[in-house]
Amino acid sequence: LVRKSINAPYILVVGGCGFIGSHTVWELAKAGYNVIIIDNLSNAFSSVIDRIEAMVYVYYEKTPEHRPCLKLYEADYRDCQAMTSILEEYEIPTPFALSPVESDLRKRSNITGVIHFAAHKAVGESIKQPLKYYANNVGGMINFCSLLGEYGIKKFVFSSSATVYGTVADIGIPLREEYCSQQTTDFVDDDGERKLVHSGSSGLTNPYGRTKWMCEAILSDLAHADPEWTITALRYFNPIGCDESGLLGEDPRDTASNLMPVVLRVITGALPVLSIYGDDYDTADGTAVRDYIHVTDLAKGHLAALKSRTDSGFRVYNLGSGRGSSVLEVVDAMEKVCGRKIPTQIVGRREGDVGMCVAKARRAEEELGWRTEKNLESCCRDVWRFLECVAGEAFVS
Ligand code: WQD
């Protein structure tokens, strides 16, 4: 049993069994936070929390009195009844009021912050099943935030995505915070200026991206209406890699179509070849360029958002390295690490892809004190270690 560090704050992580969620849970635990995890396990396994608990036990072997607690609730964040009973467990009892005037009867909680990862995230699926995406990603978040507000839990970190920038082909430059290729909509940015966002000719390219953009706009309006809220939206670029221990990695139930999971399936022989979607982009080697960010750096960005945001209001940040890597460069880096050739074939471009998508994360560094520490080579090295640990000698020999 893990004794809880009773003085440490509680952080609620929704979707904490997923790829980025589990890495964030691990970083929170190392930083001494008690972590409450909610996950419906629709695209993850609860065993990842067992592994993290074992890692936490070892990490605090010499200082067991500081060891934080991890508690997993297998529940859907859209289940209002389940969420209510969970939040009640961490409610600070309201002192008996001599008269209603004397005491603030509003609920208060031991939960000092929430990080919200839970969402459907497959771009292609979102085009085929938009209502599933709007119901879960947008409708679910609206009801959940409403409930959090009732319990006085108003520090919220939201998992957004660089997809809100849509196809930036018409901008054609490294992304900047102030650019969002969206419909012509005013948008309250982090410094409070109302900026007419860059209405890119193409706008957002898919329902998934639009759910992220809508959630940002909703959260911005919520913080505008109720200044007790501190809301931080983090726009991820391309998360890859895994914890250096090799014990945590990308392990979804569904078959991810992102580049690195596909590369791994080619390495393990589950796929015969990596299809590269186009080599006719305006990039150095013709293949598309992305800002690949190590998932540990990304997880630490969430802790920075929790720690650094002492003000109220809505702010949005890019979480990326600022360095672009092409598909062929990723393949080359992975080949160097695993010591084997990765068979590839060039095919046509994938619908909705852009040639370049690279972050400008200046404000995250200036305001959150966060920047990436790892590079593409360390991402590949850590992924390979995960494969060795998880798949064992069977396949790495
Ligand atoms: C990267 C590059 C592909 C697979 C997506 C989502 C985005 C975000 C991150 C959630 C592209 C190329 C890929 C393959 C390939 N997810 N590729 N062959 O498209 O930049 O972003 O994941 O927030 O919302 O859109 O990532 O990993 O799919 O592709 O050539 O089999 O690899 O064309 O250039 P993407 P990706």
pLDDT per position as a tens digit, 107-122: 889 999 999 999 999 8
Q: Residue 374 gets which letter from DSSP?
A: -
Confidence of residue 357 (pLDDT cuts 50, 70, 90): confident
Question: How confident is the model at residue 101, as a pLDDT?
Answer: 58
pLDDT of residue 99: 59
How close is the Cα of 283 to the center of ligand 1, in Å? 16
Residue 10 appears among annotated catalytic residues:
no
Ligand 1: which of 116, 167, 259, 267 to mutate, judged by most atoms within 8 Å of the beta carbon?
259
Per-residue pLDDT at 166: 58
Q: Which string of b and e fits 168-179 if b means at least 16 CB within 10 Å?
A: bbebeebbbbeb
Distance 85 CA to ligand 1 centre (A): 38
- pLDDT score at 252: 73
Place of tokens 């879960």: 136
> Probe ligand 1: pick from 161, 168, 216, 238, max atoms within 8 Å of CB?
238
Q: What is the pTM of this model?
A: 0.89
What is the pLDDT, as a whole number, of residue 115? 98
> What does the pLDDT read at residue 171?
31
Q: What is the pLDDT of residue 206?
A: 83
Average pLDDT of the residues of the chain: 86
DSSP single-letter state for residue 264: H
Across the range 322-332, mean pLDDT stands at 96
Is residue 258 lining ligand 1, measured as CB closer than 6 Å? yes
pLDDT reading at 263 higher than 60: yes
Report whether pLDDT(48) > 90. yes
- Reported as a pLDDT band with limits 50, 70 and 90, residue 98 is low
Write out the two tokens for 105: 């009867």
Helix, coil or strand: residue 116: strand
Least confident of 2-16, 273-287, 310-324: 2-16
Q: Is 325 in the pocket of ligand 1 (CB under 6 A)?
A: no
Q: Which of 77-81, 270-274, 358-362 has the lowest mean pLDDT?
A: 358-362
Characterize the bridge pairing of strands 91-92 and 108-109: antiparallel
Nearest-CA residue for atom 18 of ligand 1:
276
Percent over 90 (pLDDT), the chain: 69
Query: What are 115-141's pLDDT values in tens digits?
Result: 999 999 988 889 899 999 999 999 999
Summarize the confidence of residues 242-249 as an average pLDDT: 92
Instruction: Give the pLDDT of residue 104.
Output: 63
> What is the mean pLDDT of the segment spanning 139-163?
96
Residue 1, pLDDT score: 36
The per-residue pLDDT for 205 is: 74
**CA 314–ligand 1 middle distance (angstroms):** 28
Catalytic residue among 90, 208, 281, 292: 208
Q: What is the pLDDT of residue 176?
A: 38
Q: How far is the CA of 300 from the centre of ligand 1 (A)?
A: 22
Q: Is the pLDDT of residue 325 over 90?
A: yes
User: Which ligand 1 atom is at minimum distance from the Cα of 277?
Assistant: 30
**pLDDT attached to residue 359:** 86
Pocket test of ligand 1: the residue of 20, 158, 235, 277 to mutate, having most ligand atoms within 8 Å of its CB, is 277
Q: Does 159 contact ligand 1 (Cβ within 6 A)?
A: no
Contacts of 190 (CB under 8 A, 6+ apart): 177, 314, 315, 316, 317, 363, 367
Q: Which residues contact 221 (CB under 8 A, 6 or more apart)?
A: none
| Summary count for the chain: helices (H), strands (E) | 13, 18
- Give, in order, the Cα–Cα distances in Å from 102 to each of 98, 105, 106, 108: 7, 9, 12, 16
Closest protein CA for atom 34 of ligand 1: 288
pLDDT-derived band of residue 186, with 50, 70 and 90 as boundaries?
A: very low
pLDDT-derived band at 172 (thresholds 50, 70, 90) equals: very low
Query: How far, in Å, from the CA of 280 to the mean position of ligand 1?
Result: 16
